[in-house]
Amino acid sequence: MTSNTFGRLFRVTTFGESHGEAMGCVIDGCPAGLELSASDIEKELVRRRPGKVYGSRDEKDTPEILSGVFEGKTLGSPISILVRNTNQKSGDYDELKTIYRPGHADFTWEAKYGFRDHRGGGRSSGRETLCRVAAGAVAKKLLILSNITIRAWSSSIAGIQMPSHGEDGFDFEEIENNLLRVPCKAGAEKVLSKVEELRSEGNSAGGTISCLITGVNAGLGEPVFDKLDARLAAAMLSIGACKGIEFGAGFSAANLKGSENNALPDSSGGILGGISTGQDIFFTAAFKPTPSISKPQKAFDREGNIRDIEIKGRHDVCIVPRVVPVVEAMAALALADFLLLSRSARV
């Protein structure tokens, strides 16, 4: 069995494979009376779709709400959302049926289950994240009622750092105005040039995504084993390409004196003891380069032989901009759950 459900009260189960008939999610625990339409969900899914610097798999990703909503409002019953796959090219993967692609979950999935869907990685494909974004759209609607907002952006790509939040040159309005979702127009031009260079080489780039959450009151979190930062970390690390996360001062705090760290106004990232402080919550997550590249590579096959491969298909040169709405969605799912849990914290 696999763990396909996230959350305790606001619970989300995702389903479907990259090259299957459809993908989707079931949301259980969403309170009744929340205004919700398919357009609310589609708006977020559009942000996750490929762009000029991403991949070329052109899916419309039109969501269908199958249950849990009546006359534009949630019923309190499970909300089922379906997105049909319409642009699969499974034949691109036929040559890889017995070969384990470098940097992918091909080998580990088969080692665990003895069988795998070789078409684009099946459940381990990045396309699974559309289910999270669909569910996150619902969670965002719930959080807005408590004046909680979540904004993420590409804070670095291919080693090129963007201005930090609060620094000169940082512009929230610029994030959705460029293909890279960086908060700086000049930075966007620089990164785009680098990404195009990597594309011409048949290579890819990684980067970091920063996220700022405002409006969270003090007191959210369930110590000791379900702390707010622990759950947010689990949410981010459940995204396939995520390899690390830091809150506030993060790893740089390890090089500070206690007096220095205590003097920083945002060193904790808005969370202390696993509980929100009432300050803005801030974290940065690291994402590896897309492992599917067109450059010739070496790979092991099922018999242990080393093979020369060239991966075909439609893959992202840089996954980071498309993951921005995924980061927001997973943060929203975690916060929506804690918001509901907080209502039972005291008499």
Q: In degrees rounded to 5, what are phi and psi of residue 69?
A: -130, 135
CATH at residue 137: 3.60.150.10
Using one digit for the tens of pLDDT, what is the confidence trace for 36-63?
999 999 999 999 998 655 555 566 899 9
Can you give the residue range of the structural domain that contains 42? Answer: 5-342
The total number of structural domains that make up the chain: 1
Report percent pLDDT > 70 for the chain. Answer: 95
In a domain, 230, yes or no: yes
Please, which pLDDT band fits residue 19 given cuts at 50, 70 and 90? confident
Using one digit for the tens of pLDDT, what is the confidence trace for 266-310?
899 999 999 999 999 999 999 999 998 888 899 999 999 999 887
- Give the pLDDT confidence score for residue 312 in this predicted structure: 72
Burial class (CB in 10 A: 0-12, 13-18, 19+), 344: exposed
Please, which pLDDT band fits residue 164 given cuts at 50, 70 and 90? very high
Query: What's the mean pLDDT when you consider all of the chain?
Result: 93
Report percent pLDDT > 90 for the chain. Answer: 78
- For the entire predicted model, the pTM comes to 0.94
In a domain, 231, yes or no: yes
In a domain, 347, yes or no: no
CA angle 312–132–74, rounded 5-degree value: 145
Using one digit for the tens of pLDDT, what is the confidence trace for 239-277?
999 999 999 999 999 999 999 999 999 899 999 999 999
When pLDDT is averaged across residues 127-142 and rounded to a whole number, the result is 97
- Give the pLDDT confidence score for residue 56 in this predicted structure: 53
- Of the CA atoms within 13 Å of residue 34, those in its CB half-sphere come to 24
In a domain, 76, yes or no: yes
